[in-house]
Chain A
Amino acid sequence: MNNQLLLRSAGTMLVRILFAVVAAFPIVFMLVSSLKPDQQIFGDMSSVAAFLPIGNISLDNYAAVFDRVPAARFMINSIGISAVTVVLGIFINSLCAFALSRMEVRGKRIVFAAILATLIVPFQTLALPLVWWVNQLPYFELNGFSLEFSKGWLDTYQVQIIPFIANAFSIYLYHQYFESIPKELDEAARIDGAGWFKIYRQVVMPLAGPATATVAILTFLPAWNSYLWPLMVVQSEELRPVMIGIQYFFQLNVSWGEVMAYASLITVPVVILFIAFQKSFINSIASSGVKG
């Protein structure tokens, strides 16, 4: 390699590092500050120490988070809500896509077109009428042996889950993926006497791993990060997800170190998940972006 080329690639690397520093510094600052008492955070601010875990380091801020608010409860709520949404979403959307792409169902074209049409409506447009609407829906509760009936889904777990299970984009992704699996497999299974559900469960779904990973990621992220919706429909402390929890925590006028500890607590699990599945994560966003 001649000198000019070497210089140029060194320059490119420098620019790459510059971008990486800009992308990472706030997150590093957050993680490091979560380990320091407030006095030290403010003292370190004017030097590079702001980005280094040095000085008076402890997990006190983390302990304080759990003392001050039911942070564990908020975490469990969010984990539960995201997990149920992801699992049911994978099942219901793939099932629908299976029928639409691999079976000769009368009228499926119209249904598929109607499903795709829902993609043009941004959630922000739906949110407010949806609040009004879920408040009109009936609510059944089993109390001992009697079934009690009341009106309104506000302030429940189901209002944070059920509206987000069916998703046109997930159906579309599964549909595209199922189209690429040869239909001869279904025919062979049918000759062996398999029913349609069995073909779905034992032939098609085991081959649809990448599509399932994509749908899981694209359902999990908004469920974990959701803020606008729970802000409007959840009031009780014990039903709050993490993002509403942190907003509420912040309003208690706690120390910044504790805010950073809470913020790290709800960011780090996603970051670990992201690093573990980095490849399929980035590929799934890429394919969803290009096709969406």
Chain B
Amino acid sequence: MTLSPLPTRPPEAVAAAAKQNTGPARRRRPRPGFIREQLSGWGMITPAAVLLLLFVFLPAILGFGLAFTNARLVSPRPVEFVGTDNFARLFTDPTFWRALLNVTYFAVVVVPVQSALALAMALLINKKFRGVNFFRTIYFLPVVTSMVVVSLLWMFMYRREGLINELLSTFSFGLIQGADWLNDPATAMPAIIALSIWQAAGFHMIIWLAGLQSISGELYEAAQLDGASRWHQFRYVTWPGLKHTRSLVLVTITIQALGLFDQVSVMTQGGPLDSTTTIIYEAVRSGFKQQETSYASAISLVFFVLVLLVSAVQRYLTREKD
């Protein structure tokens, strides 16, 4: 490679190049403390980096690899490469398709209903009023309650003679008798959907609230001066102002919905008649109960692809259109 003849360069470029040259020249004679800074810097980075490498990167790569083998959790036989056998088995398994359908059903109901309820709650407690902190605390209470506790609690409330049916009967003056919610294939998933929305709406309320508070108050003042009604203020100020929050809430709820597991594991174990089984539940069942690590890794891989797909589609739909 030959250097381009200097005279053809504009003088500014020459000056800039000369300036840049001082950089490496100075580096050749390290400034005091440079080596110590490198050593202590890497010393500080290493603990976290090694842990992430060991417990996130490696299992992720392993999971990808194990999906194409016959690995079992405990097995005397060596791990062998079996190609796409696990995926062939997976895609011909009716339970897997049922799980995919159930998770889709769950997400299709939970995403719009939960995000709308969470937004309604956020709007209710956005402005300062007497007792605002009390309401924020109450609305958020289900979020700090663990899903395992929530599931056991609602299991009790969902019994045939449980609290939910008693409430339904009282409020309908005896007209609605209620179902045996968790033991009926038609009502088991709706029952799980209701408790999931109840538990997590408060979390997304907080994200909406942060979005609402980032909208400038001047916009509302201007809208009021123009005589805009409350609906118009929401339609033309609040809704556009929440654009970024909106896509964030949608993505997080969808990914959480696809990962449905705890509720199913505690309440129904996938039943009745596979009506509540989910992708992660199937993965745990094969990987943990039947110790088929490789098959479970294949399911996990499909789940990961699904998550990537959903976030890609949502990113595309909410992209900047200009």
**Contact present for A98 and B166 (CB under 8 Å):** no
Please report the C-alpha to C-alpha distance between residue A125 and residue B170 in the assembled complex, in whole angstroms.
44
Task: Give the residues in chain B near A270, CB-CB below 8 Å.
Answer: 144-146
CB-based nearest B residue for A51: B163
Cβ of B50 to closest chain A Cβ, rounded Å: 8
Helix, strand, loop or mixed for chain A's interface? Answer: helix
Task: Give the residues in chain B near A287, CB-CB below 8 Å.
Answer: 210
Task: Give the residues in chain B near A92, CB-CB below 8 Å.
Answer: 47-48, 51
**Contact present for A23 and B45 (CB under 8 Å):** no
Contact of A19 among B44, B121, B204, B207 (CB under 8 A): B121
Helix, strand, loop or mixed for chain B's interface? Answer: helix
Q: B135 at the A/B interface (Cβ < 8 Å)?
A: yes
CB-based nearest A residue for B296: A128
**Contact present for A108 and B147 (CB under 8 Å):** no
CB-based nearest A residue for B287: A128
Task: Give the residues in chain B near A286, CB-CB below 8 Å.
Answer: 206-207, 209-210
Task: Give the residues in chain A near B63, CB-CB below 8 Å.
Answer: 125-126, 128-129
Q: A171-B48, A266-B146, A290-B207 are in contact. Are A124 and B40 (CB under 8 A)?
A: no
Please report the C-alpha to C-alpha distance between residue A27 and residue B140 in the assembled complex, in whole angstroms.
12
**Contact present for A197 and B288 (CB under 8 Å):** no
Q: A96 at the A/B interface (Cβ < 8 Å)?
A: yes
Contact of B138 among A23, A125, A165 (CB under 8 A): A23
Q: A12 at the A/B interface (Cβ < 8 Å)?
A: yes
**Contact present for A227 and B148 (CB under 8 Å):** yes
**Contact present for B144 and A23 (CB under 8 Å):** no
**Contact present for B146 and A225 (CB under 8 Å):** yes
Please report the C-alpha to C-alpha distance between residue A292 and residue B147 in the assembled complex, in whole angstroms.
22
**Contact present for B144 and A271 (CB under 8 Å):** yes
Q: A50 at the A/B interface (Cβ < 8 Å)?
A: yes
Q: B252 at the A/B interface (Cβ < 8 Å)?
A: yes
**Contact present for A126 and B59 (CB under 8 Å):** yes
Contact of B163 among A50, A125, A221, A263 (CB under 8 A): A50
Q: B188 at the A/B interface (Cβ < 8 Å)?
A: no
User: 1/0 per residue A37-56: CB within 8 Å of B?
Assistant: 00000100110001000000
Task: Give the residues in chain B near A281, CB-CB below 8 Å.
Answer: 140
Task: Give the residues in chain B near A105, CB-CB below 8 Å.
Answer: 37-38, 41-42, 45
User: 1/0 per residue A160-202: CB within 8 Å of B?
Assistant: 0011111010010000000000000000001000011100100
Residues of B within 8 A of A (CB): 33-34, 36-38, 40-42, 44-45, 47-49, 51-52, 54-60, 62-63, 66, 71, 73-74, 120-121, 124-125, 133, 135-150, 152-154, 156-157, 161-163, 166, 169-170, 198, 202-204, 206-207, 209-211, 214, 245, 248, 252, 255, 259, 261-262, 265-266, 280, 283-284, 287-288, 293, 296-297, 300-301, 303-304, 307-308, 311
List, sorted by A's number, 25 A–B pairs whose CB atoms are closer than 8 Å: A15-B124, A24-B138, A26-B157, A96-B47, A103-B44, A104-B41, A105-B41, A114-B57, A115-B52, A120-B311, A125-B301, A126-B55, A127-B283, A135-B74, A196-B44, A224-B146, A225-B147, A227-B265, A260-B156, A271-B145, A285-B206, A286-B206, A289-B206, A289-B207, A290-B245
Q: A20-B135, A231-B288, A290-B211 are in contact. List 17 more A-B contacts (CB 8 A).
A: A15-B124, A16-B135, A23-B138, A23-B142, A26-B142, A46-B170, A99-B41, A128-B296, A129-B66, A200-B44, A227-B262, A259-B156, A267-B145, A270-B144, A274-B137, A289-B210, A290-B210
